[in-house]
Every structure is written in structure tokens, then in C-alpha cells.
Amino acid sequence: MTANTFQLYSSRHGLPSDLVLDIVKSSKGILFETGYSGIGVIDNGAVYSFKGLMGNNTFLAIREFKGRMYGITTQELCELNYESGRMNVVKRIPTPESGVGLATIKDQLVVACKNGLYLFDNDDLILLTKDRINQITCIYSKDDFIWLGNYQHQVNGYQFKKEGLQWKAEWVYGYTGKGYDNIHCIATDDNNTIYIGTRLAGLFRVNKIRKSPSTRQLKVDDGLSDNNIRSFLFLPDHSLLVGTGSGVDRISETGKDSLKIDNINNFFGFSSTVYKMIADTGKALLLGAETGLIRLTGLPVEDTFSNKLPVFISSVELVNKQDSLIDITAPVHLQYDNSTISINYASPVFSNERSLQFSYWLKGSGQQTWSAPTTNSSVTFPNLSSGHYTFMVRALGPGGNPSSQIATLELYIDPPFWRTWWFLSLVFALLSLSTILLVRRRINAIRKEAQFKQAIAESEMMALRAQMNPHFIFNCISSIDNFIQDNDKENASAWLNKFAKLIRGILDNSHNEVIPLWKDWSTTKLYLELEQLRSDNAFQFTMEASASLLNGHYRIPPMIIQPYVENAIHHGIKHRGDKSGLIIIKASMEDQQLVFDIDDNGVGRERSAALKDKNPIAHTSYGMQMSSERIALFNGDHKTELQIIDKKDKEGKPEGTRVLIKLWV
């Protein structure tokens, strides 16, 4: 089967303009196109542009006649000479009136003007007829007949014949439609049927051999892409291609007075006004469009592939949450309490979509077979219970025949995790192992040394990475264990979830010298939430940073401000003895420096030092010392700016501590 391809030539590829009104392929295989500003030529793959041949006049049509190329504007018929990438105007023959188009018939060149039909003979335009000709808009020729359309929804047919030494065009048929509308194009088939394309009213199919000609109108409501019809082309299988204001349609007869319309442009994925269509080599098509010259290959035949209609699952959404598209590149896992989903699917076929149907099957839900055919392109499943499901969907072709192609999606609805005690035990074991690995990694990092200055700096950064108070870890694990022993599921779940996220964040960040600001911001927030839970909400905290700052590309050493936050909690807030503690953390940009502002309303450094017992825990001061060294390493040659401010009230009494940290980013 020929591959389906869409190839576009436009002004970016060398054509005079994007608009292509007419196309012709010469006897030498050279392609000529007309449009605004001039003529474009594609010769053996090379694209040539010839602008200004007739000033700013637009070439309306071009034809080959007796080995020469002829183009027409509204004012002149031009004989053109093209050779090896060069073109010039050989002769210019003024038209008696406004030019419209060209046609070749019986080895003659016929010129359609606004109010007359002319024969080109010996470099002159000879009048053939003005009979019933008024405001001509298009010309079409086939066999012995010339067809003309006008502004008043009229079509007239003339028999072109030679009497003696003279050629004549004798009127033989006329059709007038209802209302007034421009005729853009005309075509006839072997069954004496005339196809008429209009500007606004769609397509008219007229059988001219009956005593009372039958007329059938086709519009958007019947399946056409657009009511603006610009061109026709018959295919070898006798189907008719229709160029519209929105692409290309194909009309095929499926029985007596029964037609099928396929939207070809949907298959190839384009939408553009198509002014001209011709057949090319290799069963390809050439389209003259408002966006350029289009070459289509592998024109689909839906009857052949009706049993292989493609279908795909486009998206899965949580119904109870807005903007909740789910990643469907892998099996979908959902929580038990958020399992109402909507599955959307589609089939990129090119037939009229109103006739497309689907059938689906959700295995594992109790549904025993495929659903009844439906035109809906989505289905909603409410409150799926825990378990494994397989969703399948297929498209149905004409007559309801199911396609052999099926799209599938695996769904897993997870049970409440607090009901699986083995899972809690496993997580506890993994967290303990992760803690041991983290400590070992930290010890190994401290022992590493490098031979060069840069290596030394990197080694120090590795040795001074994110620290976490082992007492804090032990207390968190003990609290989780107490909740489990007391069967306090809610608190166990909350603690375990937050603690797992914090440890995972520390493990992830320990591999990197610097991490995104937003990630360290989230880790610090988790740490504060755990300290808040562990202290029975002895303090409140706020974290202020603009969305643009958090979404920026700023990277900092991991856990760089955590020791100062920990110091505020354990040496400031802790000694207040009440639950009105407050920590405010702000992040902002000043010049090229990222500024952290850590403000607490604790007892202050002086009172904290006086309250220390005989066995103080040195971790916090050690962590602050390391953070100070890390800040110096990170800032490099820049001055290290770290300020610790003792806040006092009007009476000189301590009312907290404020820390300012500035990082060059």
C-alpha cells in the first residue's frame, strides 16, 4: 500500500506567493502554477519564481498549446517561453474584455472573457460567440463541449465544431438555478450529469438528459466540508473530488441515487481553500490552494480499510477534579476514593464523522460483552471499586461492521493502603534502610578528598549536603510506631505519608550539588509540617515566595536553610512554653541574589543560651556552621552575606531572631 504523504510548496519554498489558482503539467513533465504576482515552476525538483512578468497583474490560468505555455490575466493573453530555469513573455495579446480563463479543446485554445468566448488563432483572438453569455465566471471543456458559468447561477453548454474552415461554438444546453450565486467550477461525467460548484450554496448535481432535469443539492449538512465549492476532479474509479473552502471531499455512488461523502482533508490533516486539482504521476494529486501547492499521495479508500478503522484513546479525566488529565502512556492507577473517570476516544477516519460509531467493553466490571453501538466519543464510569480493569474500544464502519483494530487501557483501582499492614511494615523497613544508607553515604562523602581545588570544593559540597537531626528521625519513626500500635490509622497515615515524602526528597537531593529552588522549598515545607505535628502544633508558619520565583530556573544547594529553621524551632519557639509560636520564611530576588528571610518570635539567642541544660544537643549549631561553609562555597568569589539579627522590643527585651541569607544565583 502506498504511504500517505502530504507535501506543501509555498512562498517559503520559492513560489511567487502562497495562493495557487491554476496548475498544469507540460508535455515535458514540468509543473507550472499561477497566482498572485507571477508564475511558479517546479522543474525536476527545483522551484523557480517568476514575478512581475505582467506587472502586478494576477495570472488567472495557464495552459500548454502547441508546445508553448500561455497565461491569461484580466487584460492580456501572454505567450510564455520557459527554458532551463528562465522565463520571459514572448507575445502579449490584449483581451477584448476582462479575461476569465482558458481551455484547450480539439487542439485549439479557447479564451473565456467576461461577455464573450474567443478562439486564439494566428496571434489573434477571434470571437466564437456571445450567445447567452453574461458575466462569465468559469470555463470547462470536455469532448466536443465547452461549459460556461456566470454570476447568476447559470450554466450554458456549447458544442465546439468546425464548419468548413471556421470553428464555431453553438449553444445546445442551459441550466438556471434558483437565486443568484457565483458559479466557480463545472464538471460533467459519462452519464450526462453536470456538477456545478457555487460560492455559497454548495454543489448542484444536474442530470441534463431527462425531460425535466433532476437536481440534487449537496451542502455541509450532507457531509461536505464547506459550501464554497472551487474545483472538481474525476478519479479513475469514477468518484468525484471536490475542492472546497475547507479542503477536499470525495463523492462516491453507493447505489441508485445514493452517495457517500468522504472528507479527505481530515485524513491528511489540512484545511485550506482548494482552487485547482490535477492528477500527478504515481496516483498522486496536485492541489492549488490558498496556502500553496499541495501534493497528496496514498489517497485512502475507506471501503478497503473499513475493517481496519483506527481508534485511539485520547484522554482519561477524573470527573470529580477539574483539569485532571491522567497520563495514559502507562497503566492507570487510581485511589479508591477518586475513581469516577471519563474516557475519551476517537477514530481519525476521513468519512463523514456523523456516521461513525463506537463500541466499548470494560472487562472486570461485570460487563459481559461489547456495548451497543454509539456515536458518543466518550464514556463515564462512576465510582469504580478496587480491582483491575481492562477498557477496550473499537470503531464501527459502514453498516455497523466492527473494526479489527482495538484500543486498550489497563486500569488499577488501589485499595486503602492503611488496610494493608504488610505495606506499612515494608515502608517502615524501607525507611529504616534508607536512613542507614543516607548516613553511610554521608560518611563516605565526608571522607572523600580531591587533588585539585575544584575537586576539593566539590568534595566539600558532597560532605556538607543535606543534614537531618537523627533525633528528629528517631522521634518521627517512634511516633509512627506508636500510632500503629494504638491503631490510630489517620495519624499513622498522615505521619507516614509526610515522613516518606521528606526522606525520599532527602535521598533524591543527596545525589545533586544543587537542586531547583521549588524542590528545596517543598522539602523545607514538609520538614516544618512534621515538626509542627511532632510539637503538637506549638507553632504556626508561613512561607512566602512569588510563583515566578518558584517556577524560575534557580538552583541552590539542598537543605541550605533547614538548620536555621530547625534552630528557630528548638532554640527559639520551643522555650516559649505556649502554642503561639510563629515562623515566617520569605524568598525574593534582589539584583542577582536570592534572599532568604527566616523570622521567628521565639525567646531569642540570649535567653536560649541561658536555658540550655547540662547536656545540650550540638546538632543544630553544627548544622548552622556547615550551612555557613556551604553558603561560602556556593557563593565562590562573592562575599558571603549571612546576618543573624536579635530582635528586641521597645524596652530592649528579646522578641525573636531574624536570619538573612543571600545566595548568588
| Number of helices followed by number of strands (H, E) in the chain | 11, 43
Shortest CA distance to 251 belongs to which of 177, 354, 351, 175?
A: 351
Domain pair 312-417 / 449-664, same fold: no
The CATH code of domain 449-664 reads 3.30.565.10
Strands lying side by side in the sheet with 332-335: 332-335, 402-414, 387-396, 357-363
Confidence of residue 212 (pLDDT cuts 50, 70, 90): low
Q: Residue 355, SS3? A: helix
First-to-final CA distance of the chain: 57
Domain 312-417 belongs to what topology? Immunoglobulin-like (2.60.40)
Q: Please report how many Cα atoms fall inside a 13 Å half-sphere around the Cα of residue 494, on the Cβ side.
A: 11
pLDDT for position 465: 45
CA distances from 369 to 307, 340, 432 (A): 19, 21, 48
Higher pLDDT, 532 or 187: 187
For CA atoms 569, 572, 577, 578, give the dihedral sign.
Answer: negative
Give phi and psi for 417, each to the nearest 5.
-70, -25
pLDDT tens digits, one per residue of 376-414: 889 999 988 888 999 999 988 655 678 788 999 999 988
- Report pLDDT digits (tens) over 133-158: 999 999 999 999 999 999 989 999 99
What are the residue ranges spanned by the domains of the chain? 183-197+208-298, 312-417, 449-664
Which of the listed ranges 143-147, 423-427, 504-508, 529-533 does the model predict with the highest average pLDDT? 143-147
**Confidence check: pLDDT of 617 > 60:** no
| Amino acid 191: pLDDT | 83
* Residues 475-506 pLDDT 10s: 677 777 777 887 777 877 877 888 888 888 77
* Average pLDDT, integer, range 521-536: 87
pTM listed for this prediction: 0.51
Q: Is the pLDDT of residue 303 over 70?
A: no
**CB burial class (10 A; 0-12, 13-18, 19+) of residue 19?**
buried
